[in-house]
Structure formats: structure tokens, C-alpha cells
Structure 1
Amino acid sequence: MLHNTRASAMRKLPLAITLGLVSLATQQAFAHGYVESPKSRAFMCSSTGGSLNRDCGAVTYEPQSVEYSPSVNHHYPNQYCAGDFTQCGPANGTIAAGGINSFAQLNEQSVTRWQKTTVKPGMNEFTWHYAAGHASAYYQFYITKKDWNPNQPLTRDAFELKPLLNENAGGVRPPAGGKTQHKVNIPADHSGYHVMLATWKIADTAATFYQVIDLNIDNDGAPIPDWKILGAVQPEPLHVGDKVSTRVFTSAGEQQNRQTRLNIDTEEQAQANTWPFLLAQKVNKANAGYVMGELNANNEVVPNYGKNTMYAKNNSDVVSVEIQKEQPSIPGELKLSGLQAEYTLKDNAADLHFNAIAQGGKYTISSTVYNDKNESIAYQQAEPGNNTPHFSIPLRNVNDGGYDVVVVAKPEKGELLQQTHHFTLKAEDANSGDYDFIFPKGLSGYKAGTKVLAKDGNVYECKPFPYSGYCIQWNAGATQFEPGVGSNWQDAWIRK
């Protein structure tokens, strides 16, 4: 999540601050949370299978980790300081991502890019959910100005800089898996699309967690119908010859007479942002009990180039709508990424982490590991219909030698796809003696000069002060400083 420019930024910090950051580093990786209700932008990327917010990048897998700290990439005004959002924090244009490069997709900003939650002006309850608890200093909630431009990147000029809520948390530590509720009074003179920024300041580290929530404020000043959201149609490129259709369901089952069908006849129609607009146009003319598009300033649902939300009035009999794609033009293909040719055993154990990507239909993807005796020793299956699963397969009580991982994608119809990857498990060199620990054993005792044997088989030495504090910032959910494999291991380690 971090960037090497952090080293030069830290050199500019006063010595007292630098010492404080390092002394707190042991705890900094263990506080994580997100706004669960109304669902934040990041949480919508990871919940409901990412069907509401798509193409979010790494935050899909860790919405709890939008953590602004001294080690992030972008600071306001130019380096870390300990004040609140009005004084410090992520640089303008990087607010939604907490200044973190790996979450940069969250910074995209347009009136239709993100799914919104409809709320009323007045008192609303916002819920923080904690993946890991930590002593809390305060919570603040900011809202965009009445005249903000939703098609420009989020900056401080877009927000009212007097928080709607400034709540002292008194150092209370919420439990892991716990929640806290916060009453926020949304101004009556705000209506339509607005962004709420929620910040959670940690009391005993240098971190603040950032969450933006995309809201549609349903102001009683206009005659607004009450809508329920059925789902969303996400943009993706299609091909000439493909077909897209809707499947409409009521409590009585599928209503085939309400189906809307779009044939992709030209390259222009096949463009990722074009065909959803054309489909929405056809749906809205069909009077099928629901509509497709995005809410405009008059709270009318109109077709949109890009993502289109499916809405039904609360009195509609439509309970769900599915999008079905027929894509005969796409040949079946299965790709694997992230696998290595060799892994180093640690206590007769290793872990496989990789992604599978299948195209050409709807698949159920499974993965089986075989040893050199052709015995199956591990198996995982992804959820049916997930064409891009991530596999994390622990191998335990295994020995050095050759192994195969066989990945199979079984379609609903058509040809089965398979990829086989051969890899070697290599026993660690017990006689080398050139390291103190096998990472992450002895984690709490790492200091400047500590040498560890990492997953990639190389030995790494913990950097000198003031960077040595980052060597112990690791857990299963925060691996950016893991030697050799973390996104920012070079900030903490020297490869030997």
C-alpha cells in the first residue's frame, strides 16, 4: 500500500515525531474498520460480490484497510501531521483512498461512477464495523457542499469543513467484530447526490481510517417516488454477435413475457459503456415493472453510459432481475496468475496463492494439488459463477519434491477448461544459519539487523532505525511489509 517516497518524507519529520511513530509501529497494523451502514464506497466494492461497485481494485478484498498513516503515498498539505481532516490527511484527489496508491480506484469521481444509498435529511445512523479493535480518539463526519461538483476529484474545497459530527471516543477500544453507531444530522438544505466522509482517529497510533459514503439525499421538497434497488448492470466490453437479456422475477417466479433482449450488432454497441445505456433504454420503454439507469437531479431514473442501477417502486411486484449474457463469440479460455515455479518449505508447510480467470461462459472453478505419487493432497472449489476466483491453498505435512496444481473450469454448457501448473517444494536450508527466524516466527522481537528467511526463499535483514519499526507490522490481513512479497517490503527490509 505504500510508496518508497515515504523514506524521504520521514527524513523531514521532527525527531520526536519519528521516534513516536516507530514506538507505535507494533500496534499500528492491528486496527481496521469500515462503515457498514449506510454501506461505504469501499464496502460496496466487497459486499454482495461486488455487484454494486465494480472494478475497485485491491480494496475489494480489504475495505477495512483504508488507513491514513505517515507511511502512505500522498499527504496534505505535503507531509504527515497529526491533525484532523481540515489540517492534515490524504492529499486532495486521494481522499477516498486514504492517500494509498493501491486503493487509487476509489478516487475515481463522477456522478454515475458509484452506487448510492438513499437517505432522508435529518438524523441518520452510521455504523462503523471493526475487523480489529483499537483505542479510539474521535470520530468525525463531513459532507460535501451544496454546490460541489460530483464530476471532479474529491478535495477539501468540495466539503463543508465544519464536521456534522465531532464525537470524542475517550480512548475506548471497540472489540474485533464489534460495531459502534453514530447519529449524524444531514442538513435539510442538501439534496441529491452527496458524499459523506467518515474518519476514525486512533488514539495510540498515528493512523486515521477514512471511509467515503455515496448518498442520494431524498429531500421532501420534491415529489420523489420511493424506489427499491434490485441490483446493477456493470459495464464490460462485449463482442458483435453477443446477446444480453433480462430475467424478471416476481414472487410467483420468472415472468418470461417481461424479458428485454438486446442484440449486439456493431462494434459501437459492444463498447463497455454503450450497451448498458442501450439496454436501459429498451427496459424503460417496456414497462416491465422496473426501470434501469441512474437518478438525475430531479430524482428521475434515466439511462446512463456505464453502470446502470435497476430500480422498482416499492409497490412493484418485481422482486429481482437477473442479467443474462450469451457470448458465443468468446472462446473458452482459462488463465492462472501468481503461481511460482518453486516454494520453500517451512516446517513442512507452504501456501499457494493465485488467481484463476475464465472467459467464454459461466463456470464453476476448482483446484486440486497432487504430489509426485499422483495423490491428491488439497482441494478447493470457488463459488459457482465466480469466473475470477482467488485461491489460497495451505499445504501441510508435505515434503520437498515436484507437485502439480490442476485447475478445472466446468461450464454450464460447452467445453471444460483446464490448466496445470508444475511446481517444486524445496526444503529450507537448515545448515545455512544465515538468518535468525523463519518469517513470521519471532515477529514481536524483530529489530534493526534481524535476519529472516522469507516465503520466496531469500534472506532479508530489517532496516536500521527509523525504518525498523515497520518490520514488525504484519498480520494475515495486513501484509504490505512482508519481506520479499509485500507491496512495500523495501520500506522495511534489505534483501541479502
Structure 2
Amino acid sequence: MANLPVLPHVSKLSLLAASLMAANSFVSLSVEAHGYVLSPESRSYACKTGNNASCGAVQWEPQSVEGPSGFPESGPEDGKLASAANGAFSPLDVQSPVRWSKTDINAGWQQFTWQFTANHVTRNWRYYITRQGWDQNQALSRASFDLAPFCVVDGGMVQPPKLVTHDCYVPEGLSGYHVILAVWQVGDTSNSFYNAIDVNLSSGPGIPNEWQDVGDINPSLDLKAGDKVMTRVFDANGEQLSKQTKITITDATQGDKQNWPFLLASTINAQQSQLNAGQKNAAGSIMPVYGKNDIFTLTDSGIERVEVEFDLAPAPGNQLNVTSLADAIQINDGAAQVSFDVTTNSAMQVSAYLFNHDGVASGFVSQAVNNTNASLVLDVVAPKVGHYHLQVKGEPQQGDVIQQNFDVFLKDELPVPEADFVFPAEVTRYVTGTKVLQPKTGKVYQCKPFPYGGYCMQWSASATSYEPGVGASWAVAWTEL
């Protein structure tokens, strides 16, 4: 590694957006913000997208991982390189072989794309990579890296556009899990931006991979005895219940947030032929690990995504009930609110977190509730038509945290046709020509003529194949209006 040449510049520089005035000074968590590596996905940006979990404040500010310039001679201290020694982002410094999601790349020419939200005048960009055999269980330090950058791009002391791509030659002779430290040294302050990029590196030419990543098992919370964790598998026709995997937690040790993901991944691998869960090792094999696991599917399986869902048993002695939550919520004049009522039988802090379908945080509200009823209203950030996930959490003064999860759908302002029923009310009365409003999609569906109309009433909570708009075989029985 030490003899590898330093590239003074890249062969191409893609300039894809108009200039934006740079921020004049560093402010932690500033709305002026700055920039991050978009591809390969940096550790901080993966926290924003949901590919990394339990990240803390950086999920809201991936562009603000900023610290003193001068690496490697000075700059952030060892053990704090991933966070740029910014205390607000210290979760980024946690290091283990399985803590962070990784991007598969090959040695040789690779593109690194920066997204800037405030495009400072730039001195240069520099890229460093960990040594072969680096200690993956210790926080990143100078000893982890080859301190000769494998790529340097001159910024020319000009303001770059908002999207910049560098072509850099990743050194050969390395394989397995590595961290690339991308440093953007600005020219109008004494600071630089530090982005750790977690990669699985192959030294050979790219080989088509029969497994593609379609989901994540994130160690997001500790579970208790009686809690259930399950997968939800979707293809182009909707959810495929036959491909679901479910585990029930038997004790607190099994429910530890580092343990149950391993159990779920192992169970998926034992039960499902088209799914494989774990993390790729240096040999390219997918093996279950303690902590975060990825879910892969065969490229020809037709499976598009896999979600993980919890069914949490109520905490003994503490109760939290959620009512008055609408399945479908209207967007009016570009704004939307999720409102609901909660009832508790003890003093607890009730918090609600809203995430869009891609797992991006889209709203938050919190209120103290003491053995009474309360109404909570959550403003949706940049609402868009589609599926959202609402997580309601009750934190009692004594006892376990209570968590409940709900599906919420935002719909546009267009009127819907009149319906005879709101699904699944009066399901046994559905016959040819019956019109039902599906709250999960906000759309109306009409029962098809004979002989298909007989399927319309064939629904129960455990048999949902013909549920209008969402069941695996809904189109056999229904027509969308």
C-alpha cells in the first residue's frame, strides 16, 4: 500500500448542478449544513436512508459531519474520525465487523459522488482506505489507515456545484470489509468534512451476483418474552404470506437487540429457499451475524422488498391504547397531519415517530400522559401520497417500554367514487357490483361479475388473498375504479 501512487486528480469531474452560496462558519446541526458522500453510501447518509440504525442525531444531519482540518497530521483525534470529533455524532465512532451496512465494490476505478447542501469554496478532496488486516473491532484511528491517500482531487479554491462525482482508483490487493475515509477540505473555514464509507471490497473483476439486497434486519430495540418478530415479503402482486418468517422471543437474553436479529436471520435461512439473511464475508458467503443483518433474494425470484415487523406483547402492569387513528389521511394544500388519541393507566412519556415507506423520518410528537386520555397531532414533513409507518412508544416511569406500530396511508385531494361499504365492513354481503372503499389505499374497488364475484366475500384476518387492492390475488375478484 505505501508504494501506491497518489493520484493528483481524477480523470473526470461531473458538474451536475448550479452553485449555492457556501455557509460562512461551522455550526453543529446547522440548517446551513454542508455535504456527504451519496455513493457509495457513506455511514452517515446510510443513517438517513435507514440502511443504518440507532445512529442518533446524524440521521437528521448527515451533511454536517464536520471537524478540524489537517488529517492525518492533525484534525480529529483517533477514535473519533468517523464523527469528526463532533459529540453530537459520536454513535458513528462505534466500530465492529457487523455494525454498519456495507456497499460491494471492486478494486480499480470507482466513482465517488458528493451531494452538497452548502457548497463551500474547496481546497481539495482526499480519500484514504484501511490497511489489510486492520482491527475491525476498534474505533477508527490513524493506525487503521494507509495514511497516503489513494486519490486526491484539487478543488482549485472555487465553489463546486451541488453534485460532484470523482473517478478514483481503489488500490488492488485488498479484500473484505474496509472503510474509506473521504475528506472534503473547504477553503473558507478551518474545517473539513469527514465521511466514513463502509465497503466490501473485491480485488477481482466484477462478477454478477445472484443475490440482491431487498431488506434489513436492524437491531433497533430490545425485546421481551412473548414479543414476536416477522418478515413481510412483497413482490409485484403484493404481500406473499407463504414466504413470511416469524419468531417468538422466549426470554430477555434472546430478546437482546444484538441477539434476536441473528435468530431471525438464521430462521429465514432455514425456512426460505429464495431468501438469505446475514452479512457477506470476505469469501462472498452470506452468514447470519449478531447485530444488523441484510436480507437478500435470488435475482430471478420476483421478490421486490422484505420488511421486518414487530408484534409486541403488552408490558405487565402498564397499558397504552391507541384509538381514533385513520387508515387514510388527506393531503390538503401540501400539508397533512396524523392525529390519534392515547389512553394510559400509568404515568408515561408517549412519543410517536412517523417514517415514510423508505424509512426516512417524516415527523415526531411527544407528550407526557398520566393515567388519562390525550390527543396527539403529528405534522407530516413534506407529505407525499403513499404508505407511511407510525411507531407509537410509551415509556413508563417503571416497567418496560411499550411500542405499537401502525400503517398509515396518505392520499391526494382527488375525490373518490361513492362506495357501498368501507372494507371490511359487512364483508359477507359483497356480491357482483358491490363497491367498497379500501382505507389502506384510499381507492374504491368493484366486485367482478360471475364467476369471480364469489371471491369478494372470501376474507378474514388470517386469509387476505382477495382483499381489494392489497391482497396477493385481489385482481381476480375486484376491479379498481
Structures share a fold, TM > 0.5?
Answer: yes
The alpha carbon displacement at 1:303 in A equals 1.0
Q: Could you tell me how far apart the structure 2 residues matched to 1:143 and 1:281 are?
A: 32
Task: Tell me which of 200, 213, 222 is aligned to 1:229.
Answer: 213
- Post-superposition shift, 1:151? 1.4
Q: Which runs of 5+ in 1 are unaligned?
A: 1-23, 70-81, 336-354, 370-375, 390-408, 414-496
Is 1:273 matched up with 2:258?
Answer: yes
The alignment status of 1:253 with 2:238, answered yes or no, reads: yes
Once the two structures are TM-superposed, the CA of residue 287 in structure 1 deviates from its matched residue by 2.9
The reply to whether residue 100 of structure 1 matches residue 86 of structure 2 is yes
TM-score relative to the length of structure 1: 0.60
Instruction: List per-residue Cα deviations over 1:97-153 (Å, max 9, x = no partner).
Output: 001111110000110000001111110000111111111000100011112121111
Q: Report deviation, 1:247.
A: 1.8
CA distance in 2, matches of 1:98, 1:64: 12
* Aligned partner letter, 1:140: R
Distance in 2 between the 1:173 and 1:129 partners?
Answer: 13
| CA-to-aligned-CA distance 1:22-59 (integer Å, 9 cap, x gap) | xx995445561111111100001012xx2x11111111
Task: Please give the residue correspondences for 1:316-395 in structure 2 after superposition, counting only pairs within 5 Å.
Answer: 316-330=301-315, 333=320, 357-358=351-352, 380-381=379-380, 384-387=388-391
1:254 CA drift (Å): 2.2
Find the counterpart in structure 1 of residue 19 from structure 2. Answer: none
Show the counterpart of 2:65: 66
Question: What is the aligned-residue RMSD (CA, Å)?
Answer: 3.3
1:312 match: 297
Query: Once the 2 structures are TM-superposed, how far is the Cα of residue 278 of structure 1 from its aligned partner?
Result: 1.1
8 A Cα contact 1:289 1:317, kept in partner: no
1:152 alignment partner in structure 2: 138
State the alpha-carbon separation in 2 of the partners of residues 139 and 334 from structure 1. Answer: 52
Whether 1:115 and 2:119 are equivalent positions in the alignment is no
Shift of 1:169: 0.7
Relative to 1, partners in 2 of residues 1:245 and 1:211: Cα closer, same or farther, differing over 3 Å?
Answer: same
- Counterpart of 2:333 in structure 1 is none
With normalisation by structure 2, the TM-score equals 0.61
Structure 1 residue runs of 4 or more that deviate by more than 6 Å after TM superposition: 221-224, 364-369
Counterpart residue type for residue 276 of structure 2? V
Aligned equivalent of 2:56: 57
Shift of 1:305: 1.2
Is there any run of 5+ residues in structure 2 with no aligned partner, and where? Answer: 1-21, 323-348, 357-361, 368-374, 394-402, 408-481
**26, 32, 35: which one pairs with 1:33?**
35
Match of 1:211 in 2: 195
CA distance in 1, matches of 2:404, 2:203: 49
Matches within 5 A, 1:79-228: 83=70, 85-175=71-161, 178-220=162-204, 225-228=209-212
CA distance in 2, matches of 1:411, 1:269: 21
C-alpha displacement of 1:174: 2.2
Percent identity of the aligned residues?
35
Distance 1:221 1:38 in 2: 18
Q: Give the distance between the partners of 2:265 and 2:190, measured in 1 at CA.
A: 47
CA distance in 2, matches of 1:25, 1:217: 35
Offset at 1:329? 2.4
Higher relative strand content? 2
1:310 and 1:225 mapped to 2: Cα distance? 14
| Aligned residues of 1:93 and 1:153 also touching (Cα < 8 A) | yes
Q: Is the 8 A contact 1:290 1:318 kept in 2?
A: no
* Number of residues of Structure 1 aligned to a counterpart in Structure 2: 324
Bigger drift between 323-332 and 307-316 goes to 323-332
